[in-house]
A and B are shown apart, each in its own frame.
Chain A
């Protein structure tokens, strides 16, 4: 095999090597079969449908139904609202954490870092359970408030804010990590030079740091949006029954209502709403890849 592999230098790729293709074939075929093909087939199956007499033709009725059905539209609106709020909250929470981890010199940076990364290691199902025990009715924070003689919390459990809190919690680590990796390219000397010419901390943030990490922010947001838009477990367990987010909506349509075509239509609509973020994500990873071969 690696007559090819280990000794031929990269410059020597002109020899055709079917062996390499052979070795990567199975994973690639899996991706084609279980990612690429389902997406293509989803679009085709929802647009070219049998009319019941064996005649297959163009038929966008499932989309027409979705966009005229108040319930579906409400679900979509809730999803967009949740995604937007989560993205904004994530940025508000994670940017200070990342900035502190990059520039802070206190002794507790290690502690802050551990805590910020910890949710990465907590499965969302355990998170959902903990959420209910803490923020649910008569949850731990209610107990604490009661003990302090304060009124009870208006619990976010089973309201649209439930999934928002859960999803933000869940996405903090990756957002912090991506922002941190972006902040890694902010040179200490650039900051020092800016302060040297008289910029205060806010001006340093605005003119030196933000322009450098804007790409990382976009990547972090794309990643969060892709994860949040069709999140299932947290909205399903923590969110309201109606309207519901696209994730639970699709699951119910598929399993309970037993209408795969409608469920797939909802999936395609989700794809359409996220396509820009997906493309951006792929583009920046690909570019990153090119930078460090």
Chain B
């Protein structure tokens, strides 16, 4: 249906803050792309520029090859779901959803039909007469979604739509939104700072930091092959150990990992689930604490200089606190100056 193209877009606010810095991105037809990053990384600003609520200082934005950079939000074929819902509290549910259609001058019968259809799609059939304050947070968010979908936008924009909901509801809505998005095959840009959300929903993830893209890729790629220590640390749990490579081996406080890289400072990244432990006395590290989650356990480890690491163990009860262990990374990545210089993936 629609392709969104962002070309070398920058946004510099009046105070001189650079929110988005020369960013390019293409979202293909029917794709759901997540903008993921910590607060202040520019992801919301980027979304608001696509929606027309901020104007880029530089660069262009295209929808299906049409330049919309200077178009007012009401003229753009985009629809936004706001974090705060931004529902109009003086209108009931039906009127909230119908407002955009009424502006288009559709006949009343058609409006009714469309609104009822979309309310049913978001699971709110029969709620039309309710006032906004009579709805729960989750229902309000569904209304906001319906209000956007009813206009059949080319691009759907979601700005941390689940941030104000509790964990349980968030997971349910996440699935529902993903289902609807796939059913309608609507091109979607989704902003979140929650990695779970990004990993579970996105076709592709854009990890942002300081207004730039740190990595763009499929969720599994971003998770398994983080290109920078920032991405490695931001997505999932990651042990990041800074140390020195000397004579073909990474060393830090008793650990030694042979690596085929040049000497110099380096950051070693190992996922807890890729870090195996072998009991050894005195061992490279000491078990500090064991947390049993039932299906698996997390073992907190301490190196001799106090550095803490985590390991995921399927048999946590085989270990006890204070015991010495040797570390065996099954997969690891090595970074130098924020660039990947070596990757070893066994499995």
Direct contact between the two chains A and B in their complex (CB within 8 A): yes
State A106–B52 Cα separation when bound (angstroms): 55
In this complex, how many residues of chain A approach chain B with their Cβ under 8 Å: the count is 7
Tell me if B73 and A7 are in contact (CB < 8 A): yes
In the complex, whether A9 has a CB less than 8 A from a CB of chain B is: yes
Tell me if B14 and A3 are in contact (CB < 8 A): no
Residues 10-67 of B at the A interface (beta carbon under 8 Å):
13-15, 17, 52-55
In the complex, whether A14 has a CB less than 8 A from a CB of chain B is: yes
User: Could you give, for residues 53-94 of chain B, a 1 whenever the CB lies within 8 Å of some chain A CB and a 0 otherwise?
Assistant: 111000000000000000011000000000000000000000
Tell me if B14 and A14 are in contact (CB < 8 A): yes
Tell me if B15 and A11 are in contact (CB < 8 A): yes
State A9–B73 Cα separation when bound (angstroms): 14
Chain B positions within 8 Å of A14 at CB level? 14
Q: Which of A3, A9, A13 is packed against the most chain B CB atoms within 10 Å? A: A9
Chain A positions within 8 Å of B14 at CB level? 11-14
User: Could you give, for residues 1-34 of chain A, a 1 whenever the CB lies within 8 Å of some chain B CB and a 0 otherwise?
Assistant: 0010001010111100000000000000000000
Chain A positions within 8 Å of B15 at CB level? 11
State A193–B72 Cα separation when bound (angstroms): 55
Chain B positions within 8 Å of A9 at CB level? 13, 53-54
Q: Given A7-B52, A7-B53, A12–B13 Cβ distance below 8 Å?
A: yes
State A131–B189 Cα separation when bound (angstroms): 70
State A9–B15 Cα separation when bound (angstroms): 12
Chain B positions within 8 Å of A11 at CB level? 13-15, 17
Q: Which of B14, B52, B53, B73 is packed against the most chain A CB atoms within 10 Å? A: B14
State A14–B55 Cα separation when bound (angstroms): 13
Dominant SS among interface residues on chain A: loop
Q: Given A11-B14, A12-B14, A14-B14, A3–B72 Cβ distance below 8 Å?
A: yes
Chain B positions within 8 Å of A12 at CB level? 13-14, 54-55
State A9–B14 Cα separation when bound (angstroms): 10
In the complex, the chain B residue whose C-beta lies closest to that of A10 is B14
State A252–B305 Cα separation when bound (angstroms): 90
State A7–B51 Cα separation when bound (angstroms): 11
User: Could you give, for residues 170-211 of chain A, a 1 whenever the CB lies within 8 Å of some chain B CB and a 0 otherwise?
Assistant: 000000000000000000000000000000000000000000
State A12–B13 Cα separation when bound (angstroms): 7
State A3–B53 Cα separation when bound (angstroms): 10
What is the CB-to-nearest-CB distance from B72 to chain A, in angstroms, rounded to a whole number? 7
Chain B positions within 8 Å of A3 at CB level? 72
What is the CB-to-nearest-CB distance from A2 to chain B, in angstroms, rounded to a whole number? 10
In the complex, the chain A residue whose C-beta lies closest to that of B19 is A11
Chain A positions within 8 Å of B72 at CB level? 3, 7
State A99–B177 Cα separation when bound (angstroms): 53
Chain A positions within 8 Å of B13 at CB level? 9, 11-12
Chain A positions within 8 Å of B53 at CB level? 7, 9
State A7–B72 Cα separation when bound (angstroms): 9
State A7–B73 Cα separation when bound (angstroms): 9
State A11–B11 Cα separation when bound (angstroms): 11
What is the CB-to-nearest-CB distance from A249 to chain B, in angstroms, rounded to a whole number? 52
Chain A positions within 8 Å of B54 at CB level? 9, 12
What is the CB-to-nearest-CB distance from B238 to chain A, in angstroms, rounded to a whole number? 35
What is the CB-to-nearest-CB distance from B40 to chain A, in angstroms, rounded to a whole number? 14
Chain B positions within 8 Å of A13 at CB level? 14
State A14–B16 Cα separation when bound (angstroms): 12
In the complex, the chain A residue whose C-beta lies closest to that of B73 is A7
Chain B positions within 8 Å of A7 at CB level? 52-53, 72-73
What is the CB-to-nearest-CB distance from B67 to chain A, in angstroms, rounded to a whole number? 18
State A77–B331 Cα separation when bound (angstroms): 91
Given contacts A7-B52, A7-B73, A12-B13, 14 further A-B contacts (CB under 8 A): A3-B72, A7-B53, A7-B72, A9-B13, A9-B53, A9-B54, A11-B13, A11-B14, A11-B15, A11-B17, A12-B54, A12-B55, A13-B14, A14-B14
Q: List 18 A-B contacts (CB under 8 A).
A: A3-B72, A7-B52, A7-B53, A7-B72, A7-B73, A9-B13, A9-B53, A9-B54, A11-B13, A11-B14, A11-B15, A11-B17, A12-B13, A12-B14, A12-B54, A12-B55, A13-B14, A14-B14
Show the binding face of A for B, using Cβ within 8 Å: 3, 7, 9, 11-14
- Kindly list the 8 A-B residue pairs having the minimum CB-CB distance in the complex, ordered from nearest: A11-B13, A11-B14, A14-B14, A7-B53, A12-B14, A13-B14, A9-B54, A7-B73
Show the binding face of B for A, using Cβ within 8 Å: 13-15, 17, 52-55, 72-73
